[in-house]
Every structure is written in structure tokens, then in C-alpha cells.
């Protein structure tokens, strides 16, 4: 049994690594990606976030109707290492994601964002979040977010569907 904080962190990091490796290896056929998904080379500076809707409206879109929300929750464990999802939970290393859809990037009061994200002009929609999750540092060069992204479109879609549910 692991009883030290350092030991707990090592176990959590190992478990997260195994989870991410398993998720990246899986691929389902016939599943839709987020609509109008940009190429991974897209940059926030020239990006159109698309129509801003409520989370409930996004969840009715064909891309999310068949999403695996339970799988998205597992993928969300990587997010939960740095972010909280619900109102009133505060922040961790990253800002709280409650109400993220429709919000301008870098606008959680009291959180210290990178100048790159502050100047990005992004509005968080499923389309912009999918581009961000594909390659955060490539999408917003100069961001301080250390997460390298999810290569698989299905991973991004399932995670976004989960976030649409949990961050309302």
C-alpha cells in the first residue's frame, strides 16, 4: 500500500500514463468527429470558433449524439489532474472549466494565464476546443499548458461530449 504523498503521486502518474496509452490505441470506426474540425496545423490567431450555443444545444449535434461520454470521462482524468469542472470548486494548476463553452479564453477571474492565451481571441466552442485538444502548444504557441494533446479525433470528440455534460 502506498502511504506517502510522493508515492501516491507516482502511482497516480503511472495510472494516468496507462490510461492515456490505452485510450490513444483505441479507435472506433464509423464515428463522427467534431464538425468543421480544422487541420492540426490550425492556429488560434486565424481561427473561427464557430457558432456559440449552449451545452445542451451542442449535445444535440450529430457529432455528439453518438459520442461515448463514459469514455470521455476516462479521458477527462487527464484534465482533472489540473482542472476542476464544477462551479465553486476553485482552480488547480489550470483554471476551473465550469461554464467554459461560450466563454472567451483566458477569462476565469483570478487565474494567471499565459500572454499567448490572453491574446488569442478564442471563444471556447467544441470546434475550438477540438483544435486546442489536438495540439495545445501548436494551436496557441506560447501557451503554458503542458498537456500535449489527443491525436485521435474520437478521443477529442468523446472528451468534449463529457465536458459538455460536466461543465454546465
So what's the pLDDT on residue 34?
52
Enumerate helices (H) and strands (E) in the chain, giving the number of each.
8, 0
So what's the pLDDT on residue 44?
78
C-alpha cell at 45: 490567431
**117 phi/psi in degrees, rounded to 5:** -70, -40
C-alpha cell at 112: 494567471
In sequence order, what DSSP letters do the residues of 122-163 get, joined into one string? Answer: -B--HHHHHHHHH-HHHHSTT----------HHHHHHHHHHH
SS3 label, residue 5: helix
Q: Are 32 and 66 in contact (CB under 8 A)?
A: yes
SS3 label, residue 57: helix
CATH topology of domain 5-166: Cytochrome Bc1 Complex; Chain D, domain 2 (1.10.760)
Q: How far is 152 from 33, CA to CA, in rounded Å?
A: 9
So what's the pLDDT on residue 104?
94
So what's the pLDDT on residue 47?
76
Per-residue pLDDT of the chain in tens (168 residues, 90 and over written 9) = 444 444 444 444 434 443 444 344 433 333 344 544 444 446 776 778 888 999 999 999 999 999 999 999 999 999 999 999 999 999 999 999 999 999 999 999 999 999 999 999 999 999 999 999 999 999 999 999 999 999 999 999 999 999 999 999
CA-wise closest residue to 129 among 35, 57, 61: 35
So what's the pLDDT on residue 152?
97
C-alpha cell at 135: 495540439
End-to-end CA distance of the chain: 37
Q: Are 59 and 161 in contact (CB under 8 A)?
A: yes
C-alpha cell at 125: 466552442
Amino acid at each position: 500500500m502506498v502511504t506517502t504523498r510522493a508515492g501516491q503521486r507516482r502511482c497516480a502518474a503511472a495510472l494516468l500514463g496507462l490510461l492515456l496509452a490505452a485510450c490513444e490505441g483505441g479507435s472506433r470506426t464509423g464515428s463522427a468527429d467534431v464538425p468543421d474540425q480544422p487541420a492540426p496545423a490550425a492556429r488560434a490567431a486565424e481561427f473561427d470558433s464557430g457558432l456559440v450555443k449552449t451545452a445542451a444545444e451542442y449535445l444535440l449535434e450529430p457529432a455528439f449524439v453518438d459520442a461515448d461520454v463514459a469514455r470521455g470521462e476516462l479521458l477527462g482524468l487527464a484534465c482533472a489532474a489540473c482542472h476542476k469542472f464544477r462551479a465553486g470548486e476553485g482552480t488547480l494548476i489550470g483554471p476551473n472549466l465550469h461554464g467554459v463553452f461560450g466563454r472567451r479564453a483566458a477569462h476565469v477571474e483570478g487565474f494567471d494565464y499565459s500572454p499567448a492565451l490572453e491574446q488569442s481571441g478564442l471563444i471556447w466552442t467544441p470546434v475550438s476546443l477540438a483544435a486546442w485538444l489536438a495540439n495545445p502548444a501548436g494551436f496557441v504557441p506560447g501557451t503554458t499548458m503542458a498537456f500535449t494533446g489527443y491525436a485521435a479525433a474520437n478521443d477529442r470528440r468523446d472528451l468534449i461530449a463529457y465536458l459538455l455534460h460536466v461543465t454546465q
